[in-house]
Amino acid sequence: MDPSSYLNIILARYAKSFDIYTDHEADGRHYAAYAYFSSLGEKYVLVKKAKLWSVKAFEHVFFLREDAVTQELLDDLMRSVKEYMEPVLVRKGEKYPEKDHMYTYLTFAVLCSQTPDAAAEKAIRNFRFDRGYLFSMRGHAEARLVVADMSSRKVYTNPAGRSLRKMYGKSFEEAERGAKGYNELFVPKEQRPQSEE
């Protein structure tokens, strides 16, 4: 399957509630796309001044195109989680995340052209990062990993990313039948990639 067609379908699913940026640079790496989500939930008693509680939730999704998933790639992604994403995107350079932070998911979606071998599958399952703040009073940050194999149309995830498996799997079916994707549904015609016109 063509990774561009597949990415186009996946981004359409995210675009309903995420901000999408294509051809994104972060921490010295080029990503095919980046999706950002933030949510604020609050509970009041009669008026907004009488706030009982509020919670903030975030997700950052980084999309990569790779020939194969290797231990070196996963080690570099984990380094990025620990040295860039968690301190910059979650804590914003502070000791703890902002007040009312509940969770931040740091998600990598790797679109690869070669089926992961047994060692790569094990490395995907072992990709783990979960950090709590102030005994979870300031929430937690967790890394999720999804690997979509373009050749076998299978989806591999780490335990934290298991809930994404169904969506990524169905996207193969949608791309195969030529469903409209992000470029057709969300990008103005004059701004679409040349191949889309």
Q: How confident is the model at residue 49 (pLDDT cuts 50, 70, 90)?
A: low
Tell me: pLDDT of 193 over 80: no
pLDDT in tens, 57-79: 999 999 999 999 999 999 999 99
Q: How confident is the model at residue 170 (pLDDT cuts 50, 70, 90)?
A: very high
Q: How confident is the model at residue 197 (pLDDT cuts 50, 70, 90)?
A: very low
| Rounded Cα distance, 72 and 68, in Å | 11
In one letter, which amino acid is 91?
R
Q: Residue 63: name the closest of 109, 6, 105, 3 by CA.
A: 109
> Mean per-residue pLDDT for 5-23?
96
> Mean per-residue pLDDT for 185-195?
77
**CB-CB contact of 36 with 18 (8 Å):** yes
| Rounded Cα distance, 77 and 102, in Å | 23
Strands 130-132 and 47-66, how do they pair? unpaired
pLDDT in tens, 98-137: 999 999 999 999 999 999 999 999 999 999 999 999 988 8
Predicted TM-score (pTM) of this structure: 0.90
> Mean per-residue pLDDT for 154-165?
98
Strand partners, 112: 66, 149
pLDDT higher for 135 or 47?
135
> Mean per-residue pLDDT for 138-164?
97
Strand partners, 63: 33, 109
| Rounded Cα distance, 96 and 124, in Å | 28
Tell me: pLDDT of 166 over 90: yes
- The confidence score (pLDDT) of residue 196 equals 47
Tell me: pLDDT of 53 over 50: no
